A and B are shown apart, each in its own frame.
Chain A
Amino acid sequence: MKKLFLTVLGVVVVGAAGTAWIATHTPSSPFDNVTASAPSEDLIARGEYVARLGDCVACHTTPDGKAFAGGLEMGTPLGSIFTTNITPDPETGIGNYSLADFDRALRHGVAADGHRLYPAMPYPSYDKMTDGDIEALYAYFMEGVEPVSQANKPTEIEEPLNMRWPLALWNVVFTEGEVYQAKASEDGMWNRGAYLVQGPGHCGSCHTPRGPAMNEVALDESSPEYLSGALLDGWYAPSLRNDPNIGLGRWSEEDVYAYLKNGRNEHGVVFGSMVEAFNNSTQFMSDDDLMSIAHYLKSLPADPDYDGPVWAYDEATADDLSRDVADKVPGARTYAANCAFCHGRDGLGQNEWIPPLAGVSSMLAPEAESAINVTLNGSPRVIANGVPDSYRMPPYREHLSDAQMAEVLTYARSAWGNHGDAVSEEEVAALRSHTDPASIDVIILQMR
């Protein structure tokens, strides 16, 4: 009996010591004991490009705030957290970070004072970034970014849930902690695309489903769930795999390139959260990098099990929309009066300027959030190459009731061969209240 007790005690003590070690251990960095020398202009410029690849500005800047000064509210199930000041201000920013500190924050989720970052910071993706990219990014943030004195806001997560050490255990389970390893079986273009998508681009943060611990269920193409589409932030981020309905199955590599470069192609125009990714990040990527991303994404196989029967255009809808039968189909009149002037009775949109509704993922996916959200709230301004878009989805929040919106979306999701599920009044009402800009507590980025 005494022996058993001692054994159990021993296991508990060793387990606790191990946990404590993991929770308090500062991971090593290849830059430990490295003193960064004054960076060259080239390195700073490369770092600026890496910052574009990673889209740091999207989260570390508020709509009216100074670049990289942080403060953006992110809603989590436990309470709101706020992004931090990553300008080189020594008091409120990261001005005192060494290269190794910077590396630990970026690739291991550990701040300079040792506290664990919330994985809203996509370090499970950034840990795949190369030493060279980290070094360049550090050079840019230290020398190429204006310091801004702006104190960080404390998180609103209550005690004891605000303890950070359990995140160290989360990291052990859910991160790989390894720089991207090129696959010898694939060519250089594929590997560059894989690096950009999995690493700095962190596409999976939105497009890969999350598990119960808010972890991305897959971090690379070895899982069929990787980039298979996910619901986040009131939007459905579609599959980026070759699924013909909800993914990129009917897109060519050139289509993917054009979408990321120009914000539009004949299949669609960026909307929802993708507008930020386009405005701040993808359009600034080099042509070679964009083609590499397209090449990699187009290599991810489809899964007919969840994608369902392949969409085919049905032109009968356009005839149905002629006035004498329009009233017999619920939602058709609302469509004709509000939607058809831009998206067309044929549902095909207008060239690449106004997107089609026929055959698009938002109309085919079981999740109707994107369709509802964009109809309620419209689309933000898409700015390509410094020029704002000529046409923009207006918000119909004040214009259509929950019932009208549910009816017209149900109609659009069943017209022209679309086979998305019906939209209920309750779904519209829920998203309407969740995204109400007049609310005193509107959350810009909702993690769940």
Chain B
Amino acid sequence: MKLTINNETYDVDADGDTPLLWVIRDNLGMTGTKYGCGLAQCGACSVMVDGVVTRSCVTPIDAVEGQEITTIEAIENDPVGKRVVEKWVEHQVPQCGYCQSGQVMAATALLKEIENPTEDDVEAAMVNLCRCGTYNAIHAAVKDLAEGGAS
């Protein structure tokens, strides 16, 4: 099966129902995307599929064949993603960092869809869990991005 990840095409030897997360981490060795709950609830495994935030732990690979998958490794190749990472650094968001690749994905996907999201939009989109409780820092960074525009 052929998967397009970060603008590269990979020939993957795995069953159609294999979770995308397994392929990204185990078959392809890109470990920036994390395994959290395995149930689409926490968001640690988030990637973008055609620009839409997707939980890779519950995404069978045969459902994303031919679509453009973006992982945290290539997020800075995206102008919006680059700006999100910069703001993340500026606001010193991460503590342990485990959930942060997913948080960055959620923020990037939001800003790609809505350039100047309202408070409500942010609340609806930023639902990833963080055990360290960095929610205030995440909120500050996203607010900064929302007000300044993503470009």
A350 in contact with B63 (CB, 8 Å): yes
A390 in contact with B60 (CB, 8 Å): yes
Chain A residues positioned under 8 Å from B114 (CB to CB): 323-324
Q: Within the complex, which residue of A327, A337, A350 is in contact with B59, where a contact is CB–CB below 8 Å?
A: A350
Taking the complex as formed, is B17 at the interface, i.e. its CB lies under 8 A from any CB of chain A?
yes
Chain B residues positioned under 8 Å from A391 (CB to CB): 17, 19, 58, 60
B58 in contact with A351 (CB, 8 Å): no
Q: Encode contact with B along A306-337: 1 for CB under 8 Å, 0 otherwise.
A: 00000000000000001110110000010011
Pick out which of these stretches binds chain A: B28-36, B74-82, B85-93, B119-127.
Answer: B119-127
Chain B residues positioned under 8 Å from A390 (CB to CB): 17-19, 60
Chain B residues positioned under 8 Å from A246 (CB to CB): none
Q: Return the chain A residue nearest B54 by Cβ.
A: A341
Within 8 A of B (CB), among A333-350: 333, 336-338, 341-342, 350
Contact A341 B124, CB 8 Å, known A351-B62, A354-B60, A390-B18: no
Within 8 A of B (CB), among A371-427: 390-391, 394, 399
A326 in contact with B62 (CB, 8 Å): no
Taking the complex as formed, is B39 at the interface, i.e. its CB lies under 8 A from any CB of chain A?
yes
Query: How far, in Å, is A340 (CB) from chain B's closest CB?
Result: 9
Give Cα A393–Cα B62 distance, bound, in whole angstroms. Answer: 19
B40 in contact with A336 (CB, 8 Å): no
Give Cα A323–Cα B17 distance, bound, in whole angstroms. Answer: 29
Give Cα A11–Cα B63 distance, bound, in whole angstroms. Answer: 73
CB-defined A-B contacts under 8 Å, sample of 12: A323-B124, A341-B55, A342-B55, A350-B59, A351-B60, A351-B62, A353-B17, A390-B17, A390-B18, A390-B19, A390-B60, A391-B17
Query: How far, in Å, is B146 (CB) from chain A's closest CB?
Result: 13
A353 in contact with B63 (CB, 8 Å): yes
How many of chain A's residues have a CB under 8 angstroms from any CB in B? 19
B-side interface residues toward A, CB under 8 Å? Answer: 16-19, 39-41, 54-55, 58-60, 62-63, 110, 113-114, 117, 120-121, 124-125, 127
Chain B residues positioned under 8 Å from A323 (CB to CB): 110, 113-114, 117, 121, 124-125
Chain A residues positioned under 8 Å from B117 (CB to CB): 323
Contact A336 B39, CB 8 Å, known A351-B60, A353-B17, A391-B60: no
Give Cα A399–Cα B129 distance, bound, in whole angstroms. Answer: 13
B60 in contact with A350 (CB, 8 Å): yes
Chain A residues positioned under 8 Å from B121 (CB to CB): 323-324
Chain A residues positioned under 8 Å from B127 (CB to CB): 337
Chain B residues positioned under 8 Å from A336 (CB to CB): 124
Q: Within the complex, which residue of A333, A341, A353 is in contact with B40, where a contact is CB–CB below 8 Å?
A: A341
Query: How far, in Å, is B72 (CB) from chain A's closest CB?
Result: 18
Query: How far, in Å, is A420 (CB) from chain B's closest CB?
Result: 23
Contact A394 B124, CB 8 Å, known A324-B114, A354-B60: no
Q: Encode contact with B along A76-100: 1 for CB under 8 Å, 0 otherwise.
A: 0000000000000000000000000
Give Cα A326–Cα B123 distance, bound, in whole angstroms. Answer: 12
A354 in contact with B58 (CB, 8 Å): yes
Considering residues B19, B41, B58, B125, which has the most beta carbons from chain A within 10 angstroms of its beta carbon?
B58
Within 8 A of B (CB), among A152-180: none
A326 in contact with B124 (CB, 8 Å): yes
Chain A residues positioned under 8 Å from B58 (CB to CB): 341-342, 354, 391
Q: Return the chain B residue nearest A322 by Cβ.
A: B113
Query: How far, in Å, is A386 (CB) from chain B's closest CB?
Result: 14
Give Cα A137–Cα B127 distance, bound, in whole angstroms. Answer: 55
